[in-house]
Structure 1
Amino acid sequence: MNDRNLIKDAFECLDKSDEERILFCKKDHWIGYKAAVKLIEILEDKFEDPPQMRHEGLLIYGDSNNGKTAILKKMYSLHKVKLEPIQREDVITYEIPIIYFQAPTIPDESRLYSLILDELCVPYKHNDKIQTKAKLAEHYLHKLGTKMILIDEIHSALTGNLNKQRTFIDDLKQLSNRLSLTIILAGTREAHSALSIGSETGSRFPSLELPRWNNDRKFRSFIATYERCLPLKEASNLAENPDIINALFHQSEGLIGKTVNLLKKAAVKAIKSKREYIIVDDIEYLPKL
């Protein structure tokens, strides 16, 4: 009987070996906390937009390791290609309604189109001219019915030469205009600063900040929910232990990514110790040497 209300997969993992349970603890799990759920709702609303002359995109920004990538990948997983053939005008094709990739590390147009073509699984030559790649990318984005492009780590492409930065962003805006698709960006505060310089760019990519956690009821609720994903044989009751909550908050600095990593490491220690529940001494990001 699942009296601890573990998620189904974690409960089924309880009877497996320590090694298998440790691997399960290290897996990523989607936790629908309030801010994440709200952002997914916003992205879903944009995904369902009908074709229009000027699609409004979005910039999700915040500190590194604070859940932006998890949100984009969750959105991607909800709509990624299923490889089901579709017949259009007597031609069998496939739909790729959404693509996800990390921005190039410099504002390089050629690398941008290469990344798009890679996600669409379209063959091309890396030394092709920018115009050739751009036309190929636009052709297949249209043919494959792509409605949304998710670009992570956008701050990487907004460094160095300002003219190249502007050209890079202009390419994204023109791509959105010509194909009537929505472009979602995610990055750090530096990305927010860079995109806020021009009023037209700011209006095309309005920004939403994903803030750090506070040590409050929402944080405790997240911890309690995440504990349901850990196949430990004893309940840790993490959210009811002030010492553990304070240790998690202090060491994570309010960042969701670091919080999750701390919980994964603590669960592994609990299994290896044969104790099977987490104690405050398990809350340690790196071991003391």
Structure 2
Amino acid sequence: MAEHLFEHVRPVLAAPLAERIAFIRAPRWIGTDAALAAHRRLQGLLDRPATLRTDGLMLVGPYANGKTLIAERFVLQHMDSAPERRVWVAQTREGTGLAHFYASLISGLGAPASGLRSVARLSEQVDALLKALRPRVLIFDEFHNALRGRARDVEAIFAFLRRLGREYDVSPVLIGEVAVYDHINATTEMASRFQALPVPRWRYGENYLALLDTLEAALPLAYPSELSQEPIARRVFALSEGLIGETVRILSEAAILAVHDGGERITPRTLETLDYTPLSLRRRAALRQDLL
């Protein structure tokens, strides 16, 4: 029984209901080609020799497509791998201007909020942290948030990214939507410093069907759902719109529904009962009209 599941997942079938649900909801790493390629490139930044002009990476793609999870897993892998922590992540905050950008970086580097409002003082605190911590790779998640301000603030942020290599031997990694790619490639100077690593939407085909097989093996349901077979595979793809984050969310919620109703497998009827609205349609969803 349960031959369709990964070996480490099979014991979860016998766990109490709450534990099974928690296992289904837990974030899970999926070693896709794009994810593995990203990790190889990130490792290359970590292993490079010292230089006065560091190269950077852009991990670019649509929302809900696994970019942040790729970065978080890489950080976790290197948390305890060296005497000094070498990889840090800054969650770029909503809000425009240098003050918001520096505050994001200070928080990402583990320093308590200082309450400073002066850009100059915030810049001094960032410099002090970089000198003390000596990071090797600095990841800016949702970097598109930093690009919504005045042109002079955006240019100042780009100048800071250039200074990271010259003064601190840090390789910056920018994670975000296509706006990051557009802004970086707007000038030859910045484009020469960052290589793009795309995390595109999935296309319907053998690779996507293999992804569904992998997810089916990771979800503790007693019976096989045959997710890679028509028409259920087409339905999952249509609901997810080719986004891996949406695919995982849809199948996780469907698996929980299958556990609760006793069916122990995901079927087209399960997806219909789920009544899931794709991201692109949520502005026009009936629920929104009810809120007016």
TM-score (norm 2): 0.87
* Residue number in structure 2 paired with 1:35: 34
Note the 1:1-289 alignment, pairs <5 A.
3-8=3-8, 10-80=9-79, 95-123=84-112, 125-127=114-116, 129-239=118-228, 241-283=229-271, 284=274, 286=276
Q: Where in structure 1 are there 5+ consecutive unaligned residues?
A: 87-94
Letter in 2 for 1:71: I
* Residue number in structure 2 paired with 1:90: none
Q: Distance in 2 between matches of 1:125 and 1:261?
A: 37
**1:29 alignment partner, SS class:** coil
Matched-pair contact (CA < 8 Å) for 2:61–2:198: yes
Change (3 A) 1:271 1:20: same
Q: Distance in 1 between matches of 2:275 and 2:188?
A: 42
Q: Where in structure 2 are there 5+ consecutive unaligned residues?
A: 278-285, 288-292
Q: Distance in 2 between matches of 1:155 and 1:112?
A: 11
Q: Distance in 1 between matches of 2:251 and 2:65?
A: 15
Matched-pair contact (CA < 8 Å) for 1:80–1:98: yes
Letter in 2 for 1:150: I
Q: Distance in 2 between matches of 1:169 and 1:81?
A: 30
Matched-pair contact (CA < 8 Å) for 1:61–1:210: yes
Q: Deviations over 1:213-259 (max 9, x none)?
A: 111010011111111211111222212x2111000111111111111
Q: Which moved more, 1:141-150 or 1:66-75?
A: 141-150
Q: Distance in 2 between matches of 1:171 and 1:277?
A: 52
**1:14 alignment partner, SS class:** helix
Q: Distance in 1 between matches of 2:256 and 2:235?
A: 17
**1:73 alignment partner, SS class:** helix
Matched-pair contact (CA < 8 Å) for 2:65–2:245: yes
Q: Deviations over 1:72-130 (max 9, x none)?
A: 11111111257x8x5xxxxxxxx221111221223432333333332333346221633
Deviation (angstroms), 1:149:
0.7
CA RMSD in angstroms comes to 2.2
* Residue number in structure 2 paired with 1:89: none
Q: Which moved more, 1:185-194 or 1:134-143?
A: 134-143
Q: Distance in 2 between matches of 1:28 and 1:249?
A: 20
Matched-pair contact (CA < 8 Å) for 1:265–1:285: no
Change (3 A) 1:128 1:263: same
**2:4 alignment partner, SS class:** coil
**1:24 alignment partner, SS class:** helix
Letter in 2 for 1:282: T
Letter in 2 for 1:153: E
**1:110 alignment partner, SS class:** helix
**1:63 alignment partner, SS class:** coil
Matched-pair contact (CA < 8 Å) for 2:181–2:196: yes
* Aligned pairs, number: 277
Q: Distance in 2 between matches of 1:195 and 1:140?
A: 26
Letter in 2 for 1:169: F
Matched-pair contact (CA < 8 Å) for 1:81–1:97: no
Deviation (angstroms), 1:7:
4.7
**2:231 alignment partner, SS class:** helix
**Percent of aligned positions that are identical:** 26
**2:175 alignment partner, SS class:** strand
TM-score (norm 1): 0.88
Deviation (angstroms), 1:131:
3.2
Letter in 2 for 1:3: E
Deviation (angstroms), 1:24:
1.1
